[in-house]
């Protein structure tokens, strides 16, 4: 293998790579893992870790940084990618080393989709091999969450979205169903979203949202924060809350002051039928903001990249540009 100066990996003989596999991810199979490992092993010096506990991917990625690996490949869903990213940054990534590689293996794969990577694992593996061969990569910005309250504190990076209120309640509900053996299907998300909406109407959140150089916005019902576009996928449909948000800029904010049925129906219909760019009197939307602070008098759920962090009464979202290098 040869080095390509100024692009991605810098190596003389061989790339050391760690493949982190979540065998429980929705679209990850033993056969697919073996194909991926065989393909990568033909071009790099490969080690493999299969995760078997929550946080295992993060621990493995952190150790890979300490052991001076050139590349850490996450094969799983967005939760696996999030853990790997947090582990790498926890250990202190040097500029461009190691790089992150992503081979989708979950149900949504939002981070990979936003990067323009194929959602098919075989095609994504080929793209990754091409990136290794040619040394191609890109810098991506990330979001950072710092929260407190309800007896807990959280410090976490996110790659594509985070949220307080309704979406976090949906994540909590889906995680509870998955713990009972249910598959994380689009139908399950829709049913859980409806149940969470009914609960929100009975017990509405009362959030205060603060962004730089503006007066506080009070009595906000939900707050979604995007680090890129789209916010998520519903099957193959991209849900675009802040279409101008990207990995090269700062964060997007989508917050609603009301959650009456006409309001929710209007925005859901718009987001499903168009390519985004929602507007309206009950909508607080900002693109490219560096900092967002949300507070609540009562504990509310918080999610990052589709992973429930728990409850909090205050949370800060911060944009960090060029935080990580990804092989693409």
Residue 93 pLDDT level (bands cut at 50, 70, 90) = confident
Contact (CB, 8 A) for 1 and 133: yes
Q: 311 and 196 in one domain?
A: yes
The chain-wide mean pLDDT, for the chain, equals 90
Closest CA to 97 of 66, 143, 57: 66
Q: 176 and 37 in one domain?
A: no
Q: What is the pLDDT of residue 95?
A: 67
Helices (H), the chain: 30-41, 56-66, 78-91, 110-114, 121-134, 166-179, 186-202, 261-273
Q: Which of 136-145, 262-271, 312-321 has the least mean pLDDT?
A: 262-271
Closest CA to 88 of 74, 108, 106: 74
User: How do 161-164 and 291-304 pair as beta strands?
Assistant: antiparallel
Peptide bond just before 269 cis, omega within 30 deg: no
Give SS3 for 275: coil
Contact (CB, 8 A) for 116 and 132: no
Contact (CB, 8 A) for 143 and 319: yes
Examine the pLDDT at 189 and tell me if it is beyond 90. Answer: no
User: Is the residue at 3 inside a domain?
Assistant: no
Q: 106 and 243 in one domain?
A: no
Q: What is the pLDDT of residue 308?
A: 93
Query: Residues 36-58: pLDDT tens digits?
Result: 999 999 889 999 999 999 999 99
Residue 7 pLDDT level (bands cut at 50, 70, 90) = very low
Residue 13 pLDDT level (bands cut at 50, 70, 90) = low
Contact (CB, 8 A) for 27 and 121: yes
Give the Cβ contact number of residue 195 at 10 Å.
Answer: 13
**Backbone phi and psi for residue 158, each to the nearest 5 degrees, phi listed first:** -135, 150
- Among 120, 135, 150, identify where a domain stops: 135
**Backbone phi and psi for residue 105, each to the nearest 5 degrees, phi listed first:** -150, 15
Residue 183 pLDDT level (bands cut at 50, 70, 90) = confident
User: Is the residue at 1 inside a domain?
Assistant: no
User: Is the residue at 93 inside a domain?
Assistant: yes
Q: What is the pLDDT of residue 157?
A: 97
Domain count, the chain: 2
Q: 128 and 184 in one domain?
A: no
Range of the domain at 21: 16-135
Query: Residues 105-162: pLDDT tens digits?
Result: 887 899 999 999 998 898 999 999 999 999 999 999 999 999 998 777 889 999 999 9
Helix H or strand E segment including 103: strand 99-104
Please state the pTM of the whole predicted model. 0.91
Peptide bond just before 98 cis, omega within 30 deg: yes
């Amino acid at each position: 293998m040869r080095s390509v100066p100024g692009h991605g990996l810098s190596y003389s003989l061989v790339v050391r790579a760690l493949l982190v596999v979540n065998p429980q991810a929705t679209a990850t199979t033993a056969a697919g893992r073996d194909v991926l490992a065989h393909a990568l092993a033909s071009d790099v010096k490969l080690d493999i870790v299969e995760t078997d506990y929550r946080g295992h991917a993060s621990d493995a990625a952190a150790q890979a940084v300490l052991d001076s690996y050139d590349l850490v490949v996450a094969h799983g869903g967005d939760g696996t990618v999030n853990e790997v990213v947090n582990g790498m940054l926890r250990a202190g990534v040097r500029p461009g080393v190691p790089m992150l590689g992503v081979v989708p293996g979950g149900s949504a794969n939002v981070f990979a989709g936003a990067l323009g990577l194929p959602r098919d694992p075989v095609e994504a593996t080929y793209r990754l091999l091409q990136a290794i061969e040619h040394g191609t990569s890109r810098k991506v910005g990330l979001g950072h969450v710092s929260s407190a309250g309800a007896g807990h504190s959280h410090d976490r990076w996110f790659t594509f979205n985070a949220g307080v209120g309704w979406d976090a309640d949906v994540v909590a509900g889906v995680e509870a169903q998955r713990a009972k053996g249910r598959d994380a299907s689009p139908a399950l998300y829709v049913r859980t979203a409806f149940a969470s909406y009914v609960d929100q109407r009975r017990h509405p959140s009362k959030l205060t949202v603060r962004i730089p150089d503006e007066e506080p916005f009070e009595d906000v019902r939900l707050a979604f924060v995007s680090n890129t576009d789209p916010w998520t996928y519903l099957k193959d449909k991209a849900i675009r809350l802040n279409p101008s948000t990207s990995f090269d800029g700062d964060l997007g904010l989508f917050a609603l002051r009301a959650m009456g049925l006409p309001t929710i129906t209007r925005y859901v219909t718009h987001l499903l039928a168009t390519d985004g760019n929602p507007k309206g009197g009950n909508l607080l939307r900002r693109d490219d903001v560096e900092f967002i602070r949300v507070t609540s008098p009562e504990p509310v759920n918080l999610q990052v990249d589709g992973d429930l962090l728990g409850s909090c009464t205050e949370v800060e979202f911060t944009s960090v540009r060029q935080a990580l290098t990804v092989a693409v």
